[in-house]
């Protein structure tokens, strides 16, 4: 009895500590989201995905509610994107193409959660870990561990005191890093407006493409068995083309219409693409970094699933795609 009492006493002591820690970690995620928008900084971040290392230079300026950002890819094909609030212009000097579009998603690094999900803690355990140092900046590490085996875990580190995310890692069930992105240099402070300008002289002669317009729809297609906590966040009909640079745009045979449903548990997301079979596809399943991609035929349709989830989640979803008459 004495032991039981002691245990109860100890539990009473520890449980609130765990709860507080989880709440603190949740609050930190929200602060990361705010910091990604409201801090002004210049830095270089590197994405490490499978055999690729891709560095990008970012300039972010926030003045009186106005957000401006320039991201220049430093490796591979040169690409510069300039964003003013929701409007994005991407410059691809290789193909002399300029692409204009509206921002579609707000949780791109260094942001993380664009919508506050109360259900996050149902499926992940949030904890604060030891502080770390990234790009010369001291940061608070938060670990987000999945409670099941159908999603990955994450480790995020938020700079002290700004809360800008300086490191994000996706961790598999064997605690291996499958993909990571981190700043390698970072300077906070006032950003000169001129550093957001692009230096291409002759863009008037460039080809301009507009981001394909996606139309919201309710097609009748659905995924019956979703991994717990996943919800449909959008369903659109849109044209997709070969790659994102629009280099081959203008060739009608290269654009094709797909139905895209996006499901998310607010950290990971899975797109399900459905289209009548028109191209020669190769069926199979491939993993690239944290992303699993599966493609297969069903009736006269080709179905592709793409998501930052383990194979088990992709399998669960792909076994239960169905169509119901509207």
Partner 1 sequence: MNVSDNNQLKEQISALMDGECQNQELNQTLASLRAASHQHDWEIYHQIGDILNSNELSIRLSDDFNTRFNAKLRDCVLSEPDRFTPSQKISTHFTGKIAYALAAMLALATILVPQFAGHDGAEVRAPYIAGQFMSANYADPSQSSLNTVATNKKVDNSRSESQTTMLRDPLIDRYLAAHQRYSNSMYSAVEYETSPIIQDAGK
| Residues numbered 136-175 forming contacts with partner 1, rule: CB under 8 A | 149-150, 155, 167-169, 171-175
- DSSP secondary structure of 217-264: ---SEEESSPPTT-EEEEEEEEEE-SSSS-TTTT-GGG-EEEEEEEEE
Selected range binding partner 1 among 2-10, 23-31, 179-187, 191-199, rule: CB under 8 A: 179-187
Rounded CA separation 278/286 (Å): 21
Residue 73 and residue 47: Cα distance in Å, rounded? 11
Q: Is 228 in the site for partner 1 (CB under 8 A)?
A: no
Of 181, 141, 174, the C-alpha closest to 160 is 141
Assess 93 for contact with partner 1 (CB under 8 A): no
Contact 79, 92 (CB under 8 A): yes
**Least distance (Å) between residue 167 CB and partner 1:** 7
Residue 154 forms beta bridges with which residues? 144, 170
277 binds partner 1 (CB under 8 A): no
Decide: is 132 part of the binding site for partner 1 (CB under 8 A). Answer: yes
Candidate segments 6-14, 16-24, 194-202, 270-278, binder of partner 1 by CB under 8 A: 270-278
Q: What is the per-residue binding string for partner 1 in 51-90, x denoting contact by CB under 8 A?
A: xxxx-x-x------------x-x--xx-x-----------
Minimum separation from the CB atom of position 151 to partner 1 (A): 10
Q: How far is the CB of 308 from partner 1 (least distance, A)?
A: 6
Q: Which of 78, 197, 210, 231 binds partner 1 (CB under 8 A)?
A: 210
- Burial (CB < 10 A; 0-12, 13-18, 19+), residue 92, is buried
CB-nearer residue toward partner 1: 252 or 284: 284
């Amino acid at each position: 009895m004495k032991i039981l009492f002691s245990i109860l006493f100890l539990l009473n002591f520890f449980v609130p500590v765990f709860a507080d820690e989880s709440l603190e970690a949740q609050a930190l995620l929200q602060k990361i989201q705010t910091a990604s928008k409201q801090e002004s900084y210049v830095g270089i971040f590197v994405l490490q995905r499978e055999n690729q290392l891709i560095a990008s230079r970012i300039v972010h300026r926030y003045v009186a509610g106005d957000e401006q950002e320039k991201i220049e890819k430093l490796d591979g094909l040169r690409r510069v994107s300039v964003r003013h609030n929701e409007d994005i212009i991407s410059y691809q000097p290789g193909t002399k193409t300029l692409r204009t579009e509206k921002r579609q998603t707000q949780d791109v690094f260094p942001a993380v959660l664009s919508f506050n999900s109360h259900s996050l803690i149902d499926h992940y355990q949030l904890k604060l870990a030891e502080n770390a140092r990234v790009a010369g900046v001291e940061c608070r590490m938060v670990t987000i561990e999945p409670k099941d085996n159908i999603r990955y875990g994450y480790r995020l580190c938020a700079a002290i005191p700004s809360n800008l995310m300086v490191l994000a890692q996706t961790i598999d069930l064997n605690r291996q890093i499958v993909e990571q992105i981190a700043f390698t240099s970072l300077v906070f402070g006032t950003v000169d407006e001129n550093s957001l300008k692009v230096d291409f002289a002759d863009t008037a002669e460039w080809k301009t493409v507009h981001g394909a317009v996606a139309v919201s729809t309710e097609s009748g297609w659905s995924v019956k068995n979703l991994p717990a906590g996943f919800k449909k966040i959008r369903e659109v009909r849109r044209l997709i083309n070969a790659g994102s640079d629009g280099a081959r745009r203008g060739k009608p045979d290269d654009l094709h219409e797909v139905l895209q449903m996006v499901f998310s548990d607010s950290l990971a997301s899975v797109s399900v693409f459905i289209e009548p079979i028109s191209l020669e596809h190769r069926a199979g399943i491939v993993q690239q970094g944290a992303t699993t991609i599966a493609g297969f035929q069903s009736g006269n349709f080709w179905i592709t699933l793409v998501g930052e989830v383990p194979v088990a989640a992709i399998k669960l979803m792909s076994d239960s795609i169905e169509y119901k008459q509207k």
